């Protein structure tokens, strides 16, 4: 069965952002100061562990950005010798992650079910075998359906988890062997000595905590692969969808909000901040007036008004979109643009202040005296010396933007209802906290995944700030 590749606008921007990251990495590798700064980041155990976790999240987001439309089954010919019809494709847009998680996506229950449960969380009226009706907890259609009546689930879970530690050890061992081989070749030592140094933590970069996080990540992935087809590991929500599937699908939304908003914000902040600081005069006054006015408006009200206006435009032009996925993606992209155009003021103010200081330094004055144009001075002398502020701000703002999406979706002005996100999961779970007993697993899953993403981003951002901030290096 063939597929029809689909490139959503956010997919194109994600791929472009990945290409920019690769270009930036190549440029940083060529420059000795940048290499040394990133080595300082890699020497911190928390930074290396966070980088591994963020790499796992990035891999999931990348797989969820490869979209396609599956081909529909061919219609049967009504007459012999009829001409073969052109292939028809479904209007549903899926991703590679959806294909990998097909059992979790398609095996839906009627309503809530607790993690690893075999029966529904709610009582239903069921028919008795001897006649009559009774209120009881019915068996789930898919969760633990392989178990016989009365068979305990704990031994089955333990049996399926038996191979997970071996897979984790194998993955960590392969990575350790690759690192040891590379270190042995660079430092001209034996393979055993290189492995011993890595395990003892006597390496330039903190590879030991990275190996530990790789072991834990592969352990969790192997456990999920072993259990998810047979159990609802994190339970199901109100409409019977697997909560683990919803949590994994929410990762891309968080990453898109955190990265694309930054991509949209940077041109405004960098261009206006440097121009205000270097040119001064009426240009500085106009830019200061602009970001002062934006800061005086409550951000939530400004974002809410912009999102509602964009939603009205999307609703009045349905002909712009061929599928529901394109419609939802347009709202997600609009939310990124709105957040980007309303959050550039902080970085712009920082760059203006730094540029005011840089333009008075001797090398800038010398370049101006030798007749260098304003564009050349900004490109060669100002911009490279404020990039540490840009990098630090981008790293610190990522986690705040992920949390902002959760808050906006919680109050109903975030992503489209059909877009799975941490905020929509929390919004759907809030009404169930008043139930007795409490339906806690949807909120706990969204909180756990979002905590891992935001905490890793914050720890890495702290390491980047310590490595690139000149004031901290002087201390």
Per-residue pLDDT tens over the stretch 118-149 = 888 877 777 776 666 777 778 888 888 888 87
DSSP letter string over 112-141?
-B-TT-SB-SS-EEEE-TTSSEEEE-PBPS
Which residues lie closer than 8 Å to 136 by C-beta, 6 or more apart?
A: 123, 124, 126
DSSP letter string over 216-270?
HHHHHHHHHHHHTTTS-TT-B-TT--BHHHHHHHHHHHHHHHHHHHHHHHHHHHH
More confident position, 171 or 76? 171
Give residue 72's pLDDT.
81
Q: Tell me the whole-structure pTM to 2 decimals.
A: 0.86
Give residue 124's pLDDT.
77
Give residue 246's pLDDT.
92
Residue 152, phi then psi, degrees to nearest 5: -70, 145
- 418 pLDDT band, cuts 50/70/90, is confident
- 244 pLDDT band, cuts 50/70/90, is very high
How far apart are the C-alpha atoms of 268 and 57, rounded to whole Å? 28
In this structure, what DSSP letter does residue 81 have?
Answer: T
Task: Answer yes or no: is pLDDT of 81 > 60.
Answer: no
In this structure, what DSSP letter does residue 71 have?
Answer: B
| For range 443-465, the mean pLDDT | 88
Per the CB < 8 A criterion, the answer to whether 453 and 421 are in contact is no
The model's pLDDT over 260-302, given as tens digits with 9 standing for 90+, comes to: 888 888 888 899 999 888 888 888 899 888 888 888 888 778 8
The model's pLDDT over 334-343, given as tens digits with 9 standing for 90+, comes to: 888 888 888 8
| For range 449-463, the mean pLDDT | 88
- 315 pLDDT band, cuts 50/70/90, is confident
Give residue 75's pLDDT.
65
Give residue 58's pLDDT.
92
Give residue 53's pLDDT.
93
% of the chain with per-residue pLDDT over 90: 10
| For range 379-402, the mean pLDDT | 82
Query: Which residues on adjacent β-strands are paired with residue 242?
Result: 236
- 473 pLDDT band, cuts 50/70/90, is low
């Amino acid at each position: 069965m063939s597929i029809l590749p689909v490139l959503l606008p956010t997919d194109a921007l994600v791929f472009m952002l990945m290409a920019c990251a690769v270009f930036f990495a190549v440029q940083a590798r060529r420059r000795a100061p940048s290499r040394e700064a990133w080595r300082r980041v890699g020497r911190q155990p928390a930074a290396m562990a966070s980088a591994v976790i963020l790499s796992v999240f990035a891999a999931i987001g990348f797989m969820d950005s490869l979209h396609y439309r599956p081909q529909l089954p061919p219609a049967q010919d009504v007459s012999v010798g009829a001409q073969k019809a052109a292939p028809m494709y479904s209007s549903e847009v899926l991703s590679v992650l959806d294909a990998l998680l097909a059992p979790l996506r398609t095996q839906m229950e009627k309503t809530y079910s607790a993690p690893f449960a075999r029966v529904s969380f709610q009582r239903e009226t069921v028919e008795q075998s001897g006649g009559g009706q009774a209120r009881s907890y019915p068996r789930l259609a898919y969760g633990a359906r392989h178990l016989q009546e009365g068979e305990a689930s704990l031994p089955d879970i333990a049996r399926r988890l038996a191979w997970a530690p071996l897979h984790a050890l194998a993955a960590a061992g392969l990575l350790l062997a690759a690192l040891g081989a590379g270190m042995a070749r660079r430092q001209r030592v034996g393979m055993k000595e290189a492995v011993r140094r890595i395990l003892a933590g006597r390496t330039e970069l903190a590879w030991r905590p990275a190996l530990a996080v790789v072991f834990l990540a592969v352990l969790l992935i192997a456990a999920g692969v072993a259990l998810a087809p047979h159990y609802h590991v994190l339970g199901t929500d109100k409409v019977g969808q697997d909560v683990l599937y919803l949590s994994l699908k929410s990762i891309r939304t968080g990453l898109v909000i955190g990265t694309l908003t930054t991509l949209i914000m940077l041109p405004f902040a960098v261009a206006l901040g440097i121009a205000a600081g270097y040119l001064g005069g009426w240009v500085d006054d106009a830019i200061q007036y602009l970001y002062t006015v934006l800061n005086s408006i409550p951000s939530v009200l400004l974002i809410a008004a912009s999102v509602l206006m964009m939603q009205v435009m999307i609703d009045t032009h349905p002909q712009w979109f061929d599928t529901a996925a394109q419609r939802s993606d347009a709202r997600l992209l609009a939310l990124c643009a709105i957040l980007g155009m309303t959050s550039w003021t902080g970085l712009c103010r920082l760059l203006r202040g730094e540029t005011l200081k840089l333009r008075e330094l001797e090398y800038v004055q010398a370049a101006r005296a030798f007749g260098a144009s304003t564009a050349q001075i900004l490109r060669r002398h100002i911009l490279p010396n404020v990039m540490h502020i840009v990098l630090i701000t981008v790293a610190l703002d990522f986690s705040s933007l992920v949390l902002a999406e959760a808050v906006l979706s919680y109050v109903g002005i975030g992503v489209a209802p059909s877009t799975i996100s941490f905020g929509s999961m929390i919004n759907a779970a809030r009404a169930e906290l008043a139930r007795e007993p409490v339906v806690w697993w949807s909120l706990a899953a969204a909180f756990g995944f979002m905590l891992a993403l935001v905490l890793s981003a914050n720890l890495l951002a702290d390491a980047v700030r310590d490595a690139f901030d000149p004031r901290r290096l002087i201390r």
